[in-house]
Structure 1
Amino acid sequence: MTPEAVVFDIGNVLIEWNPERHYDTVMDPAERARMFAAVDLHAMNDEVDRGAPFQATIYAHAELYPEWRSAIRRWHDDWIHMASPAIPHSVRLLRKLRDKGVPVFALTNFGIDSFAYAQTQYDFLAEFDRAYVSGHIGLIKPDSAIYAAVEADCGLPPGALLFTDDRADNIAAAAARGWQTHHFNGPEGWAVRLVAEGFLTAEEAA
């Protein structure tokens, strides 16, 4: 089936997401590694991505680990520094697709408040035809149910959706439902795929 709509993940596709990198700039890297080994901060973030309150969830988690209370709070206070910078080539591809009238969706693991905040920092996050944000749905990738929710809302069959994501497990879950997929490892390869599918010319995808 020829894909009819393009679905973007956001973290590490349109915006770099690397908490460890940021923490290494504000605390000793060895201490950061010790904290991340002892505290599952990514699981904490999954709670936010499922719809839990952004600041309250992180601050409550920080109270469980007094040794790292202030550092864990940085997950909220420094959040935009972890979710940066934008990936310019990917943003250009998003906008070129929209210029050509291709329906462009987002399917992202993102908290309610953090996504709203990110939209104030990155204007392109308000440019999707449909934005499927896990915090609003109450599910996170790679749960099969979140892909089913997208299908039900957009009304397109799975094979009509071309989805890119940097995580192999998210791609595998989408493929299992019949979505067309591209494992994102840089905008150059994604550009090649969009050209191959006939969405863009090589010049438009450059």
Structure 2
Amino acid sequence: MIGRLNGIVAEKQAPLLLLEVSGIGYEVQMPMTSFYQMPEVGEQVIIHTHFVVREDAQLLYGFANKIERELFREIIKANGVGPKLGLAILSGLSASQFVQIVSNSDASALVKLPGIGLKTAERLIIELKDRLKNFTLQQQDSLATDAQPLDGDLGSTFIETVDVEQDAIDALLALGYKQNQATKIVKKVKLPEMDSEALIKAALKAML
């Protein structure tokens, strides 16, 4: 089990982070709530991970703090909910928002996320309501994170994608949104001064 990685951010292509650790590049998929907290390319960071082994793939999911990782693990325990859907949920909602929605049995808020119909939303609420009663969110609410960037001077070694609009569309597609939906919302909310992360954040907010 890979539980934590400490390395240099080599590439950022939301929701995928390429982290170089001792010469090995780890592709880590992250919910946008954690991705927003990652440092710039070339800087060093520590992230918490969840490793999934399937017959056809080995997948690594990363989180800025242990709280978000534990919530992700609770979400994917629900019947019919896999890591991809868990990633989409925690990209559209913060941990505290999700816990509050489940506590309030607000299925209508969940169906706005990609891949979640009414039956899935209701099942998530039923299965998670008791399990999340004592879920601690103090660190999440105070925006504390374990993913603190360390000193790094390799920024000039790497090149980031500069097509902001396409980056945002690709991120939404990876999270489960449809092409026409992603393209329409990105064009609608885009402002000239936005970078990729700001545009993705605005698009996800507009989806809800």
Instruction: Report if TM-score (shorter chain) is over 0.5.
Output: no
Q: Which has the higher strand share?
A: 2
When normalised by structure 1's length, the TM-score is 0.27
